[in-house]
A and B are shown apart, each in its own frame.
Chain A
Amino acid sequence: EVQLVESGGGLVKPGGSLRLSCAPSGFVFSSYSFNWVRQAPGKGLEWVSLISTYSVYIKYADPLKGRFTISRDDAKNSLYLQMNNLRAEDTAVYYCVRGGYCTTSNCYSSPWSSFDIWGQGTMVTVSA
């Protein structure tokens, strides 16, 4: 089964740090681009960051540049999001999301792909 499982969320004080991880299964991790998308409680979706295959492309939402760092370890089949200097407004469910799409015969991925597989999300709460 194709799936993504996030971990690493929790309660952190303002100014603190967290490292989220994402573990894929059911497909070849190294062949795909990945994103982090967050959703504050009761709110809409906000794209956070993208990392392409071989880490050629790394992109961030402008307000998060300098505080968040996306990375991947293809040898460990893992995606990460390092979050520093956290603020109350970073409180959200963070989703690990594969960039790609699948037809009946094949799957494709690029930095310019829709988001076809979403994890269940991990909750990050920033509060004193």
Chain B
Amino acid sequence: EIVMTQSPSTLSVSPGERATLSCRASQSVSSNLAWYQQKPGQPPRLLIYAASTRATGFPARFSATGSGTEFTLTISSLQSEDFAVYYCQQYNNWPRTFGQGTKLEGK
């Protein structure tokens, strides 16, 4: 099983600042990596797929890079609606696995 490790677990950032979230896979997942955003009481929402492609409905302030085992999600200028939990997930191997999540909170 591929273990996905996200860091940090919690990130406190002020609105307007940049946030950088990391995700590491225990073995290569190529570019088969997705990011999801989950707000309280809501299901997750696909944010990024194929490691760097933004899903429909998300603005350009969200960007992502990486391949193999190291991945990064960047939010360039945080808005209040961006505070949420972010999960990375690999869909290269079975079982599909998620990171434990990074909670992005306002400072």
Residues of A within 8 A of B (CB): 35, 44-47, 50, 59-62, 95, 101-102, 104, 112-121
| Chain B interface, >50% SS class | loop
* Interface hub of A35, A47, A59, A112 (most chain B Cβ within 10 A): A47
User: Does B89 sit within 8 A of A, measured CB to CB?
Assistant: yes
Tell me the smallest distance from the CB of A119 to a CB of chain B, in Å.
Answer: 7
Partner pick for B55 among A35, A60, A101, CB 8 A cutoff = A101
Q: Chain A residues with Cβ under 8 A from B43's Cβ?
A: 95, 118-121
Nearest 4 A/B pairs, CB to CB: A114-B49, A114-B34, A118-B43, A47-B96
Known: A35-B96, A45-B44. A114 touches B87 (CB 8 A): no
- On whether the beta carbons of A112 and B92 are closer than 8 Å, the reply is yes
Q: Which residues of B contact A47 (CB under 8 A)?
A: 89, 95-98
Q: Are A59 and B45 in contact (CB under 8 A)?
A: no
